[in-house]
Structure 1
Amino acid sequence: MKIIELTYEDNQQQISNLLEKHSKSSDPNIPPYVRETISLAAYEDDIYIGGVTGDMVWNILNVHLLAVDLNYRGNGLGAALLKEIEARARLAGCKVSELTTMSWQAPHFYQKQGYAIFGEIKNCPVEGETKFYLKKIL
């Protein structure tokens, strides 16, 4: 046996193939392991002011990144971006959305948007900070 580096995309595909085979052997009713990405951006007069990215697998939306330019915060743009990615995921058949955020980032923002904390890692990445895991039924 040897372990080598492989491009992220190629390795992702190989891992997906293995997971697919395992899933089908465990339960033939499990849907295919197909990852679909979503990437939305907001502009004001041709200036990028925010965006959100995520992917969907097995009817679950995983929100990866969401950010709004400091000059545009507090005006509902973050909520609008999140609402739009959720709406697109819902149309694609997603039943739940999940994400992570850090204590100094936006846990309260996501809770206002209907997300509930279901897990946390304290003192991560440094003493006194927490990584939160949140979910929302779509």
Structure 2
Amino acid sequence: MKIEVLQNPEPELINYLDKQIADFNWANWEVQERKPLAVQIKNEQGQVIAGAAGRSFGNWLQLSTLWVSEQLRDQDIGSEILKSFEDAGKTRGCIQCLLDTLNFQAMPFYKKHGYETQWVQENYPKTGCKYFMVKTL
């Protein structure tokens, strides 16, 4: 048996290891289903110009991404998207929402919408920080 450190591992190895831990987790986790969820706004040409994505599992809704194009910012579009995403999560039975955001991103926006910081990862990735936020829906 030999331990090898790979400075440039093949994506197949990363995928294999990710799948092994995912298989273990699914075999032992109390939740048997994770459902993707997204909200989008398209322009007349059919291009996505704003949206949100995440997933629901058990009692939780997880927001992974919320993005609004430059031309739509400062028009409360982000608030509408967030509300639509949360409402869809409630429809699925979610009672809490989890997200993370970086110090230069949208922490004040989420705070305005009732999210509370549960934990701050300091010095991320070097001098910034990452906020982990939760809201009861």
Mapping of residues 84-103 of structure 1, within 5 Å: 84-103=84-103
1:40-68 CA deviation, whole Å, 9 max, x = no partner? 21112233211100111111001001111
Structure 2 counterparts to residues 4-43 of structure 1, below 5 A: 5=13, 6=16, 10-11=19-20, 14-20=23-29, 23=30, 32-43=31-42
> What is the number of equivalent residue pairs in this alignment?
126
Distance apart, 1:34 and its partner CA: 1.1
Decide whether the 8 Å contact of 1:61 with 1:89 is kept in 2. yes
CA RMSD of aligned residues (A): 2.3
- The question of whether the paired residues in 2 share the 8 Å contact of 1:60 and 1:97 is answered with yes
1:75-86 equivalences in 2 (<5 Å): 75-86=75-86
Match of 1:52 in 2: 52
Distance 2:20 2:41 in 1: 32
Aligned to 2:124: 124
> In structure 2, the residue corresponding to 1:86 is in which secondary structure?
helix
Change (3 A) 1:42 1:7: farther
1:133 counterpart residue number? 132
Say whether the 8 Å CA contact 1:19–1:33 is kept in structure 2: no
8 Å CA contact retained: 1:102, 1:130: yes
Normalising by the residue count of structure 1, what TM-score does the alignment of the two structures yield?
A: 0.81
Structure 1 segments of 4 or more deviating over 4 A? 10-13
Listed as ranges, the gaps of 5+ residues in structure 1 are 24-31
TM-score, normalization by structure 2: 0.81
**Match of residue 29 from structure 1:** none
CA contact (8 A) 1:36 1:57 kept: yes
What amino acid sits opposite 2:59 in the alignment?
N
Structure 1 residues 97-129: Cα deviation after superposition (integer angstroms, max 9, x where no partner): 0100001000001011111111101111121x1
Quote the Cα distance in structure 2 between the aligned partners of 1:96 and 1:60: 5
Counterparts of 2:91 and 2:111 in 1: how far apart (Å)? 23
Structure 2 unmatched ranges of 5 or more: 2-11
What's the offset of the Cα at 1:12? 6.7
Matches within 5 A, 1:94-113: 94-113=94-113
